[in-house]
């Protein structure tokens, strides 16, 4: 059987990981640009799902899909696909391919949803068991899973609340394939931490000091950090070992009340301390902020704008408009409009280049 991967640039990192995982079990997922093959695999998020829904429905071969969106609403997605890999795919996808090509029962594969329902998964991936790339290159995944439960985020729903780390030896081996080492993780400064909530600075330093042959980029896209992890000890490691001159973290809102409702697990004070720490270590703070939470009042929105304005004096702010994603606490809610006065002030701040992002068009994945 001809088994292929629908290449979509947004999911190329997932492709790199699943290509390597399937290769271990004897499957080579060749990339295609359209609905070809006897079995075609997709990985989709909530923002691009609708671009591929019709293509999947009309594909002649067997369609398998996975990723954040199909995992969150697999029952709806089964209108468009034959099987959904719910959650992590490294073990589940090869098992499903085995069942489809060797006469097994695909519907009983753990972690797979089909028209007859979901068979619950029976494992959680150990990162060292799967390299994050082989022939198809991708970023190095340091850690997976997140102990926080931010109301707008799909990550803990997809990968669980227990943070798992790739071993230092495995990271060094993967990094040896590159001159520049860039990482994927929900929180780069949590590397090695047993609970993901408190940094383990010693383990982080041991990792960074082992990557002697690389230019290291940590705490910047795609390995952002949480504000309360930006401490003198962690910032110092960036200065000592890394090539990036910035630190990227999420503040998300300007009021403690909104942060509490979001279950962010940090305060505005943590954000301001993180900015001070960046400045003390001559690192540029790059901060994410979201407008439009359904419970945000006019006053909350003004406080978020005040925070944007304050940060933009010292660093950069990425402004986003909320997308209520399926599977999250905010699924099914409606994003609030930005007040006209704040919208116009954000526009003015954007002119000096300290505020970037796109906060005009609401993204409705359900359209």
Question: Beta strands 39-43 and 3-6: pairing type?
Answer: parallel
Contact 115, 80 (CB under 8 A): no
Please say which residue, 207 or 225, places its beta carbon nearer to ligand SF4: 225
CB of 294 to ligand SF4, least distance (A): 17
Query: What are the CB-based long-range contacts (under 8 Å, 24+) for 47-53?
Result: 47/10, 47/323, 47/363, 47/365, 48/8, 48/10, 49/77, 49/365, 50/365, 50/367, 52/6, 52/8, 53/80
Site string for ligand SF4, 4-23 (x = CB under 6 A): --------------------
In angstroms, the CA 263 to CA 146 distance is: 13
Query: Which residues, at least 6 apart from 254, have a Cβ–Cβ distance to it below 8 Å?
Result: 268, 289, 300, 302, 303, 304, 305, 306, 307, 308
Q: Which range binds ligand SF4 by CB under 6 A, 2-10, 57-65, 132-140, 152-160?
A: 152-160
Q: Which of these segments, 151-159, 167-175, 279-287, 326-334, binds ligand SF4 (CB under 6 A)?
A: 151-159
Q: How far is the CB of 127 from ligand SF4 (least distance, A)?
A: 16
| Contact with ligand SF4 (CB under 6 A) among 39, 112, 146, 346 | 146
What are the C-alpha distances in Å from 178 to residues 19, 128, 137, 205, 245? 18, 19, 10, 20, 20
Q: How many residues bind ligand SF4 (CB under 6 A)?
A: 10
The rounded distance, in Å, linking the Cα atoms of 302 and 308 is: 10
Judged by CB under 6 A, the stretch of 70-78, 106-114, 146-154, 330-338 that binds ligand SF4 is: 146-154
Residue number, 91 or 226, with CB nearest to ligand SF4: 226
Spatial contact of 307 and 289, defined as CB atoms under 8 Å apart = yes
Q: Which of 19, 49, 148, 217 binds ligand SF4 (CB under 6 A)?
A: 148
CB of 214 to ligand SF4, least distance (A): 24
Burial of 350 (0-12, 13-18, 19+ CB in 10 A): middle
| Residue 119 DSSP label | P
* 271 lines the binding site for ligand SF4 (CB under 6 A): no
Closer CB to ligand SF4, residue 148 or residue 183? 148
Minimal distance in Å, beta carbon 154 to ligand SF4?
A: 8
CB of 178 to ligand SF4, least distance (A): 24
> Which positions from 164 to 203 touch ligand SF4 by CB under 6 A, shown as an x/- string?
----------------------xx----------------
User: Looking at 94, 156, 227, 326, which residue binds ligand SF4 (CB under 6 A)?
Assistant: 156
* Sign, CA torsion 249/252/258/260: negative
- Could you tell me which stretch among 31-39, 141-149, 282-290, 344-352 binds ligand SF4 (CB under 6 A)? 141-149
Which range in 49-57, 87-95, 144-152, 231-239 contacts ligand SF4 by CB under 6 A?
Answer: 144-152
Integer-rounded Cα radius of gyration of the chain? 21
Q: Is 226 in the site for ligand SF4 (CB under 6 A)?
A: yes
Whole-number Å distance between alpha carbons of 74 and 107: 14
Please identify, using beta-carbon distances, which residue of 155 and 244 lies nearer to ligand SF4: 155
How far apart, in Å, do the first and last CA atoms of the chain sit? 35
Exactly one of 77, 96, 150, 230 binds ligand SF4 (CB under 6 A); that residue is 150
Name 234's Cβ contacts closer than 8 Å, sequence gap at least 6: 189, 199, 201, 204, 219, 225
Q: Which residues bind ligand SF4 (CB under 6 A)?
A: 146, 148-150, 153, 155-156, 186-187, 226
């Amino acid at each position: 059987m001809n088994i292929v991967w629908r290449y979509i640039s947004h999911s190329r990192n997932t492709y790199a990981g699943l290509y390597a995982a399937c290769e271990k079990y004897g499957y080579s997922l060749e990339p295609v640009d359209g609905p070809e093959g006897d079995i075609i695999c997709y990985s989709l998020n909530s923002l691009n799902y609708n671009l591929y829904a019709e293509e999947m429905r009309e594909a002649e071969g067997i369609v398998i899909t996975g990723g954040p969106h199909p995992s969150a609403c697999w029952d709806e997605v089964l209108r468009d696909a034959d099987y959904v890999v719910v959650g992590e795919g490294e073990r589940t996808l090869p098992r499903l391919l085995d069942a489809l090509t060797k006469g097994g029962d695909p519907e009983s594969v753990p972690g797979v949803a089909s028209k007859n329902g979901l068979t619950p998964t029976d494992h959680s991936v150990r990162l060292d068991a799967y390299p994050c790339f082989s022939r198809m290159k991708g970023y190095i995944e340091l850690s997976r899973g997140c102990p926080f439960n931010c109301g707008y985020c799909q990550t803990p729903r997809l990968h669980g609340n227990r943070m798992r780390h790739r071993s230092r030896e495995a990271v060094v081996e993967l990094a040896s394939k590159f001159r520049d080492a860039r990482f994927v993780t929900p929180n780069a400064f949590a590397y090695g931490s047993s609970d993901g909530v408190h940094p383990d600075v010693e383990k982080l330093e041991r990792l960074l000091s082992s990557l002697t042959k690389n230019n290291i980029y940590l705490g910047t896209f795609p390995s952002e950090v949480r504000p309360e992890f930006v401490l003198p000890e962690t910032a110092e490691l960036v200065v000592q070992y890394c090539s990036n001159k910035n630190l990227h973290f999420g503040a998300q809102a300007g009021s403690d009340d909104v942060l509490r409702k979001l279950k962010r697990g940090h305060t505005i004070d943590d954000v301001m301390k993180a900015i001070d720490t960046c400045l003390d270590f001559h690192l540029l703070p790059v901060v994410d902020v979201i407008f439009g939470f359904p419970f945000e009042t006019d006053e909350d929105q003004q406080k978020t704008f005040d925070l944007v304005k304050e940060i933009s004096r010292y660093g950069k702010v990425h402004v986003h408009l909320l997308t209520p994603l399926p599977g999250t606490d905010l699924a099914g809610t409606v994003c609030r409009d930005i007040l006209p006065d704040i919208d116009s002030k954000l526009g003015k701040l954007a002119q000096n280049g300290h505020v970037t992002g796109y906060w005009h068009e609401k993204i409705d994945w359900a359209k």
